[in-house]
Amino acid sequence: MRERYTLGSLSEGEMPQAPDVFFDHWLEQAVASQQPEPNAMTLATTGNDLRPSTRIVLLKGHDERGLVWFTNYESRKAHELAGNPFAALQFYWASLQRVVRIEGVVEKTSSTESDHYFARRPLASRIGALASPQSQVVESRQVLDEAFARIEQEVAASGNEPTRPEFWGGYRLVPSYWEFWQGRDGRLHDRLSYVKNQQGDWQIERLAP
């Protein structure tokens, strides 16, 4: 299978000093191009056994501080992050022939930030978060469906909106490294990275494809 990469290029002189500014530009273009799930990103973590694992999570916010997603704090990725906070993210926007890689340290978001996002989730998503013991072995799909139905009935009977449980909340990856990849013809792709120097400023470097 062969794909020609001819949709764009990257030039050091056109890159902003702040990588999150350029990322925001590319994300907007991914959304505008109707890329499926443009905020979907692969999260890579490593446990105490040094075996890496990946999964897809959804970006729910980003700024100069980092990139945010939300999940169950008792999941496999949460346990791995508790033992080793270093992680990596990757976006793949196939229709634009682009990849973004980010590496850094992960920290939990504040309770206020997690509460605010949880309250904005659809009701079914909030009930699902309460019903699912994420990453744990369950006997059957029926167990999950019954837990969901039970909590749904409890919520309806109480008339109160479900609040965020302590085992659920946000994470923020604070970047120390960014890489922007643009496919080019002949497999001579453009790869530009942002690396922090000793002064804390971002330094742009070109990498061989």
Residue stretches of the annotated binding site for substrate: 2-5, 60, 117, 121, 125, 187-189
CA 100 remoteness from chain centre: 11
Bridge partner residues of 162 (DSSP) = none
How many residues appear in the chain? 209
CA distance 97 to 72: 32
Count CB-CB contacts under 10 A for residue 143.
12
Among 120, 150, 187, 206, which one carries the catalytic annotation?
A: 187
What does each C-alpha distance from 185 to 9, 103, 142, 155 come to in angstroms? Answer: 10, 27, 50, 56
Annotated active-site residue 187? The verdict is yes
Annotated binding site for FMN: which residue ranges? 55-60, 70-71, 76-77, 134-135, 181, 191
What does each C-alpha distance from 25 to 19, 22, 28, 179, 201 come to in angstroms? Answer: 10, 5, 5, 14, 20
**Across the chain, where does the E strand assignment appear?**
40-46, 52-58, 61-63, 66-72, 86-93, 98-108, 168-182, 190-196, 202-207
Annotated binding site: which residue ranges? 2-5, 55-60, 70-71, 76-77, 117, 121, 125, 134-135, 181, 187-189, 191
Question: Of the candidates 107, 67, 104, 68, which has an alpha carbon nearest to the alpha carbon of residue 194?
Answer: 104
| Active-site residue list | 187
